[in-house]
Amino acid sequence: MSGKSLDSAPARPGLGAFLGLRRPAPPAVAASPDAALVAAAQGGSAAAFARLVERHQQALRAFLRRICGDWALADDLAQETLITAWSRIGALQAGASVRAWLCGIGHRKHLTLRRSAGRARTRDAAWEAERPTTTAALTEDRLALEAVLRTLPDDQRACVALCLAADFSHAEAAEALGLPLGTVKSHVTRGRARLLDVLGGSHD
């Protein structure tokens, strides 16, 4: 009998690839570069945690800037997220994605801030963020994208920011946000349709 295994069969592209996402990688493969650092950080090594921060803070800040629409606020939330992550590093499970874990903490902090700020304050902040004088360095396309993102429901906005802007797979986004995989896929599909309606032409 041939020793040929099923592993030699060509891989079929997943839904993530079909939607334009660059990978998806299996969680264990994605997490492996961080495994030693996570173990060291959980053992009390601040230097190991600092290395994790170096690897993932850019993705965290980019995600928070997308969902906040306010760069200064996003950077503040990123700092709070990293402080919380250091205090809770022992809760990170072996093999879990550090990037997804950090973005999940950041997303929850953003939701808490929005709820505590109240509708009037959030509306005022949105108006301020849209003023041309505060966004002179941004392109029109970027302004339009951020304006549309602010109109999406919180969970949908987070899914779009992770999957379409930060190159998360659907599974990674589900892990980060604590949502079912099917819900994430639905949010991404609807969010993408909304972006196309506004930025790429309306659907009849």
The model's pTM is 0.60
Residue 165 DSSP class: I
Q: Which residues contact 65 (CB under 8 A, 6 or more apart)?
A: 71, 74
- 51-68 confidence digits (pLDDT tens): 999 999 999 999 999 888
Q: Does residue 98 register a pLDDT over 50?
A: yes
What percentage of residues in the chain have a pLDDT greater than 90? 30
Q: Please give the residue that has the higher pLDDT: either 18 or 164.
A: 164
Look up tokens 């969902």; give the residue: 67
Pick the CATH number of 30-199 from 1.10.3720.10, 1.20.140.160, 3.40.190.10, 3.40.50.300: 1.20.140.160
Extents of the domains making up the chain: 30-199
Distances (CA, A) of 173 to 115, 141, 169: 22, 25, 6
Alpha helices in the chain (DSSP H): 15-18, 27-31, 35-42, 46-68, 71-87, 98-117, 119-130, 140-151, 154-160, 170-177, 181-199
